[in-house]
Structure 1
Amino acid sequence: MSLVYDLHSHSTASDGVLTPSQVVLRAVENKVDVLALTDHDTISGLAEAKAQADLLGIKFINGVEISTNWESRSIHIVGLNFNERDPRIITLLASQAEKRRQRAVQIGEKLAKNGIINAFAETQKLANGEVTRVHYARYLIQIGKVANEKQAFKKYLSQGKSAYVKTQWIDIPTAIEAIHLSGGVAVLAHPLRYNLSAKWIKKLMLDFKQWGGDGVEVAGCGQTKDQRQSLANWANEYQLRASAGSDFHFPCGWIELGKSLYLPENSIPIWECWKTS
């Protein structure tokens, strides 16, 4: 029986709702064999997660999800199996953290113009570190401005809305370089979630490969069989290895740790990069 890999998950170190230790525990409960914690632009949860993984006997892989800009869109790059003490990755993530802080402050200022005063300070209380748009959405729910996160983004936080702030993230080659210099592999995260046509997804994959990218997330939660097979075929076309990740943020029925993360038979798994190293 093949191992279950989940190489994309989030904790309270970014915008997840479970602590790093709780994420690992839930992964074990869900029969995951190999787990990566990939919080947004931070590795602050890795030490806690690894300690819990060692205690519970689950294989743990260092991870991070880095925000980048491509063709005026925000694209996420997952770094896996890198040295978290390498100064190159530490420096890059420190820069990303400052960009996130500046954006969070600006969102708070825009919400104040909408009559929602002191939102940044109040939202900080909900975050374990960085303040993200998801934390703002949760605060807006808490104070009764919206009923759920989807409404918060639709009314305030998504592009074109009154509290939206565009961030000038790094470019994809810069993210790939930092991941490689720290000994890791770079994976294009959830390519079907960027509202791109098939033509543009393939252009993104081609650019990513030409810039030195290693893999693409082929298996995720909530896909159709045809979607997964298309991703596998495109990955092979551009000589990218296949990764599997739930993008877990909180316990729910449709996006869950280890759920339906099989790879199509024609896939070349990303973890073969480090199994033999």
Structure 2
Amino acid sequence: MPPLNADLHCHSVVSDGTLTPEALAARAAANGVELWALTDHDEIGGQHRAAAAARENGLKYLTGTEISVTFAGETVHIVGLGFDADDPRMHEGLTATRGGRGARALEMAEQLAQVGIHGAYEGALKYVGNPELISRTHFARYLVEAGVCKETNEVFRRYLTEGKPGFVPHRWASLKDAVRWITQSGGVAVIAHPARYKFTPTEEYALFTEFKAHGGQGVEVVTGSHTSAESARYADTAREFGLAASRGSDFHSPDESHTDLGRLPPLPEDLTPVWHLLADRIR
């Protein structure tokens, strides 16, 4: 029996993607995805639309979100899967963590103006489906439109990252908060794309140890930003910590994303897929 083509990490216009939940569902189905989750940043406003679109396209669906947390001075992303999208605790937590994005965006625009890039806040707003979720990605799209950079990858090499113009850190939720919101709402917490974080081995060990202690149960092993070597490394981490394995493209846009929905290698056969923990939550 071939492995399930699950894609449990992607973004719509409700956060920083460029497609609607409906267009993502259609694209996922066209690419052979069988189990799908929409995981917008710090937001679950697209969940009912995504679930309805999944049904229309013959896809099985898990609710999802990607929560930004601060750990050891780094921003880490925790994906929540299979939670109750109407649970007030999840809504309240995400509303609180979104609160700082507006002020942060204005400060980012001010820094860019100091290096001669004017109107960045207004320019970024044109790309925002949800003003509460204005982010670096929206600024990057504007800088490409304005001709400052040729593509968004160049933007992140020259601007908006630590030590470069336009970088403003944001204090997100704690790891404990994010895992609690997910698990109290009936879901499973997953560490997203772990190879992307700039942790020392000691810090990474602390992240996984604390995550598991708070009730976290999964890690993304196969994801659009992992090389095959990184996937093998985090398969070992999943084994070491007894975590289920997740799989997701982290798809944002047909023009920007390196990995399309559903176009990922399978999970290693000896790992427990995270969807096995959520069989009763799949719709």
**TM bucket, shorter chain:** over 0.9
CA distance in 2, matches of 1:44, 1:208: 26
Deviations 1:183-230 (A, max 9, x none): 111000000111335554333222211222110001123644443232
User: Which residue number in structure 1 is paired with residue 224 of structure 2?
Assistant: 221
Q: Distance in 1 between matches of 2:280 and 2:12?
A: 29
The 1-side partners of 2:150 and 2:25 are apart by 30
Aligned partners of 1:190 and 1:97: how far apart in 2? Answer: 21
Q: Distance in 2 between matches of 1:222 and 1:118?
A: 31
- Alignment of 1:179 with 2:182, yes or no, is yes
1:66 match: secondary structure: strand
Deviations 1:72-118 (A, max 9, x none): 00000000111111111101111122112221122122222233333
Deviation at residue 160 of structure 1 after TM alignment: 1.1
Q: Which amino acid aligns with 1:160?
A: G
Taking the aligned partners of 1:165 and 1:81, their CA distance within structure 2 comes to 32
Q: 1:232 aligns to what?
A: 235
- SS of the counterpart of 1:126? coil
Match of 1:143 among 138, 142, 146: 146
Deviates most, 64-73 or 14-23: 14-23
Alignment of 1:17-32 (within 5 A): 17-32=18-33
Decide whether the 8 Å contact of 2:80 with 2:182 is kept in 1.
Answer: yes
Is there any run of 5+ residues in structure 1 with no aligned partner, and where?
Answer: none
Q: Match for residue 108 of structure 2?
A: 107
* Structure 2 residue 163 is matched with structure 1 residue 160: yes
Q: How far has the Cα of 1:231 moved from its partner?
A: 1.2
The alignment covers a number of residue pairs equal to 277
Instruction: Please give the alpha-carbon distance, in whole angstroms, between the structure 1 residues aligned to 2:175 and 2:218.
Output: 13
* Contact kept in structure 2, 1:221 and 1:261, CA below 8 Å: no
Match of 2:272 among 244, 268, 276: 268
For 2:127 and 2:241, locate their aligned partners in 1 and report how far apart those are by CA, in whole Å. 41
Q: So what's the TM-score if we normalise by structure 1?
A: 0.94
Q: Which moved more, 1:191-200 or 1:64-73?
A: 191-200
Tell me how far 1:162 sits from its aligned partner: 1.9
Q: Deviations over 1:151-188 (max 9, x none)?
A: 22222210111211010111101100111111111000
The one-letter code sitting in structure 2 at the alignment partner of 1:145 is: V
- 8 Å CA contact retained: 2:193, 2:225: no
- Structure 2 Cα separation of the partners of residues 225 and 118 of structure 1: 41
CA distance in 1, matches of 2:75, 2:213: 19
Partner of 2:77: 76
Write out per-residue CA displacement over residues 16-47 of structure 1, whole angstroms, 9 at most, x where no aligned residue: 12111111111000000000000111112222
Percentage of matched positions with identical amino acids? 39
> What corresponds to 1:16 in structure 2?
17
Range moving further from structure 2, 265-274 or 26-35: 265-274
Distance 1:139 1:225, change over 3 A: closer
Q: Which residue of 2 aligns with 1:208?
A: 211
Aligned equivalents of 2:141, 2:109: Cα separation in 1: 14
CA distance in 2, matches of 1:149, 1:227: 23
Give unmatched runs, 5+ long, in structure 2: none
Instruction: Give, as a single letter, the amino acid of the residue that structure 1 aligns with 2:7.
Output: D
Is the CA contact 1:7–1:35 (under 8 Å) kept in the aligned structure 2? yes
Q: Which residue of structure 2 lines up, in the alignment, with residue 259 of structure 1?
A: 263
Q: 2:60 aligns to what? A: 59
The more displaced of 224-233 and 166-175 is 224-233
